[in-house]
Structure 1
Amino acid sequence: MSLAVAAPARHPLAGRVGLVAAAVVVLGEMVWLVVGLPGAALVSDLGAMAVSSWAAVLCVRAARRHPLALRRFWGLLAITMLLAALGRTVWTVERLGGIDLPHTPLVGALFAAGIVTGTAALLCSRAGGRSLVGQARTLLDGVIVALALIPVGWVVVFRDLADADLSDPLRTFGLLYPMFDLMQLTILVAVAGPGRQMWRALTVIGAGLAIRAGADAVYVSLVAHGNYAAGHPVDVCWPLSYLLVGLATRYPPPGAGDADDDAGESPLPPWWRVALPYLPVGGAIVAVMLSRQPTGQTPHLVFVGMMALLGVLALRQGLAANENLRLVARLRRLAYSDQLTGLPNRLTFIRRLRRALREGGPVAVVLLDLDGFKQVNDRFGHAAGDRLLTTIAERMRDAIGPDGMIARLGGDEFAVLVAGDRPVAPERLAVRLLAALEPLPGEEELGVHPSASIGIAEYGPQHSSHTDLLRDADIAMYAAKAAGKSAWRTCTPELRESAVSRAELIADLRRAVDEGQLLMEFQPIVDLATGTVRSAEALVRWRHPRLGVLPPARFLPLAEETGLILAIDRWVIHEACRSAATWRERAPEVTVAVNIAAAHLCRPDLIATVTGAMGAAGLPPRALTLELTESALIEGSEAVLDRLAQLRDLGIRIAIDDFGTGYSSLSYLHRIPATELKIDRSFVSRLDAGDARAYATVEMVNRLAGAFDLAVVAEGVETGEQHAAVTAIGCRQGQGWRYGRPAALSELLPTLAPADVAR
């Protein structure tokens, strides 16, 4: 819904003519009363009746035009304008009938009813709050301001009028009109404001209320001093306030442009709006002291007003205290429970766990992480994921029952606390949880029901705090994932030791690049027909200060999990380009191949990294081949394919590594800008045993590559039989121990001369 400033709604010509006519009436009355032309009293009465009746008609039309939730507001406002017209009509009739005091019971009843309906209209507007407590609080704020005006008004208006006659209740009621005006104005200020619904219309109505309050204050002062006569220039203020009410009806319904409170949280009110009801109280206290008569007594009206003010203040504070208690209870619910599933949250779980450890007795934690939940969010959206989490939480809560406390720790991670006299072992609870997560009939076909991996840790002497216990449960949970998911594992000393070693290795790996612990080796790729080295694949090793030289399989998976693979890849690319530039002085046609991790493909700076490394080493693009796994390429986005196409356009070669082990698809061979395929060693290794299927597979890949104009490299050639087989099939290049093991650059350089390896 747009928050732009809404323009007044377009009305038919008759509506515009009515507005102009009402404005002309008000302007004409103003001139008539200011100039003091004859019949000013009757002109004043007729003008007020005409404009208020016109405003009532417009409010009725607005009620029909606005949504159902706002019809009551405009309907009550229409009744208020109608009561104003009727009250002014009775006023006129009684005045023309010779009644000196127009505040008769009928006039007073009509005006009082108008005050009630006008106040009710403000309170029932959608900006005025939805709950009865909120509406009552707003009403009391207005009443507080109104009652605080009584002693102030006494000091300002009546203090110097010792003979002021306030014995007539109707006269006294008439003199309290400014108090009611300020009450309504306070309510309007409390419910209106930028960003609140209908705030523009309420602002215009508020301007009318302010004008009426000023007019009533002047009227009271004139009456008290005996200077008021019908037709006084102040009389034009009342039809002017009605004119503004009619003008407010021209603003469109909220759906046509106003901000809707339902669209988001309402903005916090400024401090002065919160303090508004209490600001006049100080002035009222001072006014009470100034209003004391020479005898020391407080005027009766002031005394009654102050007693009423104290009572309303007490009631208002009682509502505030009750609201604070409800707010505290709600904050506690928000702080200690998960809002999506209704389960206890992490904070509650930790508090209960720490208390259980203090109380002693057996304590165990069952940690559960959903498998494949991210795919649910990616495929069906987060709303579907939230519904699934809610359903799963209900099933798990029913499965646990009274045997433990289940909590949602965050995301798709849950935990069960088993403490005290346990009737059920945590292992049995894990089995029950896995059974509860099995898809019901019909759910498996939808593909939206994940499994779970569960880790169990029981408190023992090896745990110094609840943190250690949760860590062990996490270790066991990851062991369950590694075991194939949809399983549970209990933390053992072996698992704990393995996890500690893994964490230490990750910490050491973070320092490996900066401290120069990585080293590069190269394995030659040869021409199978001549034995000439055509290229060399760069292979990274880690010279660990304590564990010695580690192969890639030992640390690259950790690097990919932790994101360190990006820094390692950048080092490998720069080092490989530098080394290739060195050996090209001896063998200009020998190229270098570098493996690129899947995470690096998604990096927009991949091209800059590659071109920067080549530029720094002075290596031409045609001398570099980037090797990427088949699965990484297939899972890549369109942006990844575009990035690879740009590299290919620069002259850099693109190789699909381990071809045949991923989700092979001919359609992807059309899209991927590759220049060569590397047949995985798992197929080549079976060629010695005369495996017909392996032979057929390698032959098929070779023919497929030829159809796509791609070069072929047979990986893992270790024996003469394998060499003979891939050569017979027609593979042009080979790589493996048969032609040379990975070696340092100094050991590679002597092999860059042709050698007879075909024998």
Structure 2
Amino acid sequence: MLPQDVSHAVVARPTLSGRVGLVAAAVVVLGEAGWLVAGLPGAAEVSDLGAVAVAGWAAVACVGVARRHPPTLRRFWTLLAVTMALAALGRILWTVERLGGRELPHTPLIGGIFTAGIVTGTAALLCSLAAPRSLVGQARTLLDGVIVGLALIPIGWVVVFRDVAAADLTDPMRTLGLLYPMFDLIQLTILVAVAGPFRPMWRAWAVIGASLAARAAADAGYVSLVVHGSYAPGHPIDVCWPLSYLLIGAATAYRPPAGGDGGEETAESPLPPWWRVALPYLPVGGAIVAVVLARRPTGQTPHLVFLGMMALLGVLALRQGLAANENLRLVARLRRLAYADQLTGLPNRLTFNRRLRRALRDEAPVAVLLLDLDGFKQVNDRFGHATGDRLLASIAERMRDATGTDGMIARLGGDEFAVLVEPDRPPERLAERLLTALEPLPGEEDFGLNPSASIGIAEYGPQHTSHTDLLRDADIAMYAAKAAGKSAYQTCTPALRESAVSRAELIADLRRAVEEGQLHLEYQPIVDLATGVVRSAEALVRWRHPRLGVLAPAKFLPVAEETGLILPVDRWVIHEACRAAAAWRERAPQVTVAVNIAAAHLRRPDLIATVQAATAGAGLPPCALTLELTESALIEGSDAVLDQLRQLRELGIRIAIDDFGTGYSSLSYLHRIPATELKVDRSFVARLGAEDPRAYATVDMVNRLAAAFDLAVVAEGVETDAQHAAITAIGCVHGQGFRYGRPAPLPELLATLTPVDVTR
């Protein structure tokens, strides 16, 4: 696994001894290169001593960096140190044998040491942080390198040996010599595989890759020269080996990126590029062409080429077997991902729907329970999504235990679950068990981690033609359970189904109501109780439904708020009310207009723009518009909402707190909200006529409180003379209700813009 953050992949600050060693090794390589190129005496001895010195220094450097790195990197550098030590040892034995009289001492011992170095170098690459963690992945990477290396045998034959007199390679030295470039190519392929450009790159990989390339050039050149009989110890090609050792030592100066300590990756690795997938197979085509070209005039294929191709085919078959096994594991994993919920381990929506459709095809008398957690959003908002996920997993386990063998529980998504109840199992009893299972455990209630559930039950019947019908009925019942107070279950009935259908039709009709001009406004006057003069009028929306007739706000506004359709309705009301107010102010310049707006509008950033466009478009002064908002909408407002209200007040718009006393009345929010008036709720005014002393005291207290905050007071719902007398005695300035005028269209309001007789 490669580290994720490459911003710290910089050269480490080496110690003084490390810098001195690196400089000394570089001087040795440069000196050797100059000596060999110049052809000075003793070139063979200089070549051998230079290779031994630089390889030995590289081994020491790798040991030093291994001691400074964490265990996950220590193995990598230790294996490279062993590789360099074996290279130094092999070169020492080579030198001793050569000085003993053998010109090119390819003895089994020396060959074994060099081969062991190749094995340890390959092991270092395969145990690096970038390499695959699984044995299968490591085997696949190794086989990729072997495929590329074996493909080099027929290619090398054509390029190097074809025109050589001793092409039969009866000399074992020549035969074994061809394998060294093959091993180099195997290691280069493995390095590219584990540190390809599709992952963050550690700069040491580039240096190590350059080392392998230098060694591959040296081995390929050496084999070619030996086969052609033109190699002698001390040839300039010899400098490539100490150069490769020098680069290994230089790689120790690069520290891994931050986070390269072997920690687990948290993000999915990106897909490799196409060439990385095709890498082990690209040279195979060249090998096939080379086999054809390598055939002798007699039609025979050289034994080495034939054996190489047989080995290549065997490795390819093994590689394809691993790929097939991996594909099977991936298919199994994809099936788990497709049919199971990853957070809870429960079956997911797809699995649930398949099981439900199968049960309906068998005409089994099944039932569906649909569960939705109550208040789960507050858990996420308060404690974070990580806590919410842990709670979901815990709840899923408890519900799984409660369901037992009576059904299959699945997570449909979010905080919604469903249970497919087995035939002949009473769904109500299972619903009760589930509600009991969701009761808070010790400690959960104290921390607010105890969301309950609303459960809807739908039993299969002749009215269900598909699984979606059954789920729809369960959904209808679930919302009925929420409306009944939550933490409860409800069974779908024909009445509930009919009500839901009517509601859906109403929502569909409401979407067209604004565009088709079905809405209209009526205005109820607000009068000055001392003079009877109309001071304002509240705009009340009505819906001329083409089928149901005129609908009052209570019939459709709650549905509009639940579905978000209240926003276009409110915008239309604001514009229409401003136009109407501009018309009546030509007759009564002092009369303003009041408009109710929903809480959803307060959370929208375009509220101010909507109000400005409405007043400017109608030519209405902003001070002639009052926005009425409920207590709950204002109290739940954020700082952004309060900032919007302050901006509206700065424009001159008036703010009224509607239905005051029915919400969460608090002195603290009166300090924060830039209101201009309070509207006493009609429920208090209605009790004044019955001479209720508590109601009288409540209205009187609100009036005094408003005076303390310099707020105007409007008493709503005044219908009788007794109520009028009571609010007048209390000292309320303005009144609204049937006592002074019913809601009426604009032409009728214009006729009443004269003082109302408040004494009658």
TM-score for both structures, normalised by structure 1:
0.97
Q: CA deviation at 1:198?
A: 4.9
After superposition, the C-alpha distances for 1:197-216 in whole angstroms (9 at most, x for unaligned) are 55422122112211211221
Cα distance in 2, alignment partners of residues 668 and 648 from structure 1: 16
After superposition, the C-alpha distances for 1:176-204 in whole angstroms (9 at most, x for unaligned) are 10000000011111111235355422122
Aligned partner of 2:61 in structure 1 is 58
User: Does the CA-based 8 Å contact 2:6-2:201 persist in structure 1?
Assistant: no
User: Does the CA-based 8 Å contact 2:626-2:654 persist in structure 1?
Assistant: yes
Partner letter of residue 247 of structure 2?
L
Cα distance in 1, alignment partners of residues 715 and 383 from structure 2: 41
Aligned partner of 2:749 in structure 1 is 748
Aligned partner of 2:13 in structure 1 is 10
User: Does the CA-based 8 Å contact 1:536-1:590 persist in structure 2?
Assistant: yes
User: Does the CA-based 8 Å contact 1:254-1:260 persist in structure 2?
Assistant: no
Aligned partner of 2:304 in structure 1 is 301
Cα distance in 1, alignment partners of residues 663 and 670 from structure 2: 13
Aligned partner of 2:206 in structure 1 is 203
User: Does the CA-based 8 Å contact 2:168-2:302 persist in structure 1?
Assistant: no
Q: Structure 1: give runs of 5+ residues left out of the alignment.
A: none
User: Does the CA-based 8 Å contact 1:193-1:199 persist in structure 2?
Assistant: no
1:392 equivalent to 2:395? Answer yes
* 3-state SS of 1:128 partner: coil
Cα distance in 2, alignment partners of residues 661 and 70 from structure 1: 68
User: Does the CA-based 8 Å contact 1:108-1:174 persist in structure 2?
Assistant: no
User: Does the CA-based 8 Å contact 1:105-1:170 persist in structure 2?
Assistant: no
1:500 equivalent to 2:501? Answer yes
1:35 equivalent to 2:33? Answer no
Cα distance in 2, alignment partners of residues 176 and 700 from structure 1: 101
Partner letter of residue 484 of structure 1?
G
Q: CA deviation at 1:569?
A: 0.7
Q: CA deviation at 1:265?
A: 1.6
Aligned partner of 2:140 in structure 1 is 137
* 3-state SS of 2:658 partner: strand
Cα distance in 2, alignment partners of residues 3 and 540 from structure 1: 62
Q: CA deviation at 1:291?
A: 2.1
Aligned partner of 1:659 in structure 2 is 660
Aligned partner of 1:188 in structure 2 is 191
* 3-state SS of 2:530 partner: coil
Cα distance in 2, alignment partners of residues 245 and 669 from structure 1: 74
Q: CA deviation at 1:129?
A: 0.7
Q: Structure 2: give runs of 5+ residues left out of the alignment.
A: none
Compare 86-95 and 137-146 and name the one that shifted more.
Answer: 86-95
Aligned partner of 2:701 in structure 1 is 700
Identity score, percent = 81
Cα distance in 2, alignment partners of residues 550 and 67 from structure 1: 75
* 3-state SS of 2:687 partner: helix
Q: CA deviation at 1:647?
A: 0.6
Compare 125-134 and 146-155 and name the one that shifted more.
Answer: 146-155
Compare 368-377 and 27-36 and name the one that shifted more.
Answer: 27-36
Q: CA deviation at 1:105?
A: 2.2
Aligned partner of 1:522 in structure 2 is 523
Aligned partner of 1:376 in structure 2 is 379
* 3-state SS of 2:458 partner: strand
Cα distance in 1, alignment partners of residues 279 and 260 from structure 2: 29
* 3-state SS of 1:525 partner: strand
Q: CA deviation at 1:758?
A: 3.8
TM-score for both structures, normalised by structure 2:
0.97
> Using a 3 Å threshold, how does the CA distance of structure 1 residues 50 and 517 change in structure 2: closer, same or farther?
same
1:228 equivalent to 2:231? Answer yes
* Root mean square deviation of aligned Cα: 1.7
Cα distance in 2, alignment partners of residues 706 and 259 from structure 1: 70
Aligned partner of 2:217 in structure 1 is 214
1:151 equivalent to 2:154? Answer yes
> Using a 3 Å threshold, how does the CA distance of structure 1 residues 661 and 641 change in structure 2: closer, same or farther?
same
1:669 equivalent to 2:665? Answer no
User: Does the CA-based 8 Å contact 1:677-1:710 persist in structure 2?
Assistant: yes
> Using a 3 Å threshold, how does the CA distance of structure 1 residues 256 and 491 change in structure 2: closer, same or farther?
closer
Partner letter of residue 480 of structure 1?
A
User: Does the CA-based 8 Å contact 2:70-2:261 persist in structure 1?
Assistant: no
Partner letter of residue 551 of structure 2?
L
Cα distance in 1, alignment partners of residues 335 and 260 from structure 2: 37
Aligned partner of 2:533 in structure 1 is 532
Aligned partner of 1:560 in structure 2 is 561
1:284 equivalent to 2:293? Answer no
Compare 591-600 and 189-198 and name the one that shifted more.
Answer: 189-198
Cα distance in 1, alignment partners of residues 43 and 759 from structure 2: 123
1:122 equivalent to 2:134? Answer no
User: Does the CA-based 8 Å contact 2:625-2:653 persist in structure 1?
Assistant: yes
Cα distance in 2, alignment partners of residues 707 and 194 from structure 1: 72
Partner letter of residue 606 of structure 2?
D
Q: CA deviation at 1:288?
A: 2.0
Aligned partner of 1:591 in structure 2 is 592
Q: CA deviation at 1:717?
A: 1.4
Cα distance in 2, alignment partners of residues 644 and 666 from structure 1: 18
1:470 equivalent to 2:446? Answer no
Q: Give the aligned length.
A: 757
Cα distance in 2, alignment partners of residues 252 and 473 from structure 1: 60
Q: CA deviation at 1:277?
A: 0.7
After superposition, the C-alpha distances for 1:438-465 in whole angstroms (9 at most, x for unaligned) are 1123322221111111111111111111
* 3-state SS of 1:669 partner: helix
Cα distance in 2, alignment partners of residues 78 and 660 from structure 1: 82
After superposition, the C-alpha distances for 1:54-109 in whole angstroms (9 at most, x for unaligned) are 22222223323333222211111111112112212221222222222322222112
After superposition, the C-alpha distances for 1:504-550 in whole angstroms (9 at most, x for unaligned) are 00000000000000000111111112111111111111110111110
